[in-house]
Amino acid sequence: MIPTVLGAGILVFFLMRVIPGDVCLHKWVDFGTHKDLILLDLCRDELGLNAPLYVQFFEFLKGVFTLDFGVSMWTGRPIIDELKLRFELSLQITIMATFVTIFVGIPLGIISAIRQNTWVDYVVRAFSIAGIAVPSFWLGILIILGLLMVTQHVFGEPWMPPIRYIPIWEDPITNLSQLVCPAVATGYRFSAVVTRMTRSAMLEVLREDYVRTARSKGLKETVVINRHALRNAFLPVITVIGMEFAFFMGGLVVTEQVFNLNGLGSLLVEAVLQADYNMIQALAMLAVAVFVLVNLVIDLSYAWLDPRIRYR
């Protein structure tokens, strides 16, 4: 984990310095036609951009090890304050979307595998193919339009989810009414991926010799499925769910724009457009940390699901 995080940090740091332009150019260049070299130089001195590259790099490493990435070069506010509310928002959407993915995708995949080549299997496969084909942001737009039409017809006036984010412990009803739609729109697409993965893994396991042996011993089908097939079939499924969870934390840029949510994805886009090195580095390291930790949990779960796997 440590070499992976450090390697990603080094790559992010030097790539940011290779790209032309910096935050001072964005602040002091007037529509790309006029720039005051004195103001630019003063800005770069103040932000430490004129310091030697190795000095900036060691300051960055110090921030990685102490979890202190300084202040935003654009707003001047501490990065931890900028991340706090957005991280909370992205984490809640991630958890809700993951729940939708698990509780929809896994049962449908199991049913589809058990009822292979029946009408149930065809319906589930059509559901999953539609989920993969439909972009989550487009589905989000349809959900919003559907809410407007239904509420207009039923209550006489249209209703939309609240725009301003309210933490769940302050007002759970308002919070959930705002985030349930993006969670469903995002979770549906990835539940389709999990459905297909679960179906494929279950079909492969159900053809194994030990499953046929269990059936030949007269065990009930539910026992064969739950005890002998599911745990082995879950290995690739958990991998996919873990990767989706890590992606949800910062990859829902377009979906956040559709539902007017100011999460980590939107913050990263703003930081890139403003060339805010400190913010980009902090968000990149946060994403790397999430992926690495999720991969660690997935690897450890393998040994629990399959006793044949041991880490020595």
pLDDT tens per residue across span 49-73: 777 888 888 888 888 788 778 888 8
Type and span of the H or E element at 29 = strand 29-30
Distance CA 130, CA 136 (A): 11
The pLDDT of residue 311 is 57
Distance CA 169, CA 128 (A): 34
Which regions in the chain score pLDDT beneath 50? 31, 33
CA distances from 259 to 8, 143, 274 (A): 31, 10, 23
Q: How many CA atoms lie within 13 A of 260 on its CB side?
A: 8
The pLDDT of residue 195 is 92
Contacts of 129 (CB under 8 A, 6+ apart): 192
| CB distance 62 to 239 below 8 Å | no
**Residue-wise DSSP of 43-102:** HHHHHTTTS-HHHHHHHHHHHHHHT---B-TTT-SBHHHHHHHHHHHHHHHHHHHHHHHH
The pLDDT of residue 31 is 47
Query: Which SS3 state, helix, strand or coil, does residue 112 take?
Result: helix
User: Could you tell me the domains of the chain?
Assistant: 2-66 (no CATH), 90-139+183-305 (1.10.3720.10)
| CB distance 97 to 183 below 8 Å | yes
The pLDDT of residue 308 is 67
The pLDDT of residue 126 is 92
Please return the burial class of 33, using the count of CB atoms within 10 Å of its CB with bins 0-12, 13-18 and 19+: exposed
Query: Which SS3 state, helix, strand or coil, does residue 34 take?
Result: strand
**Residue-wise DSSP of 153-204:** HHHSS-----SS---TTT-HHHHHHHHHHHHHHHHHHHHHHHHHHHHHHHHH
Length of the chain: 312
Among candidate residues 286, 282, 259, 280, the one with its CA nearest the CA of residue 268: 280
CA distances from 210 to 213, 227, 233, 252 (A): 5, 11, 13, 42
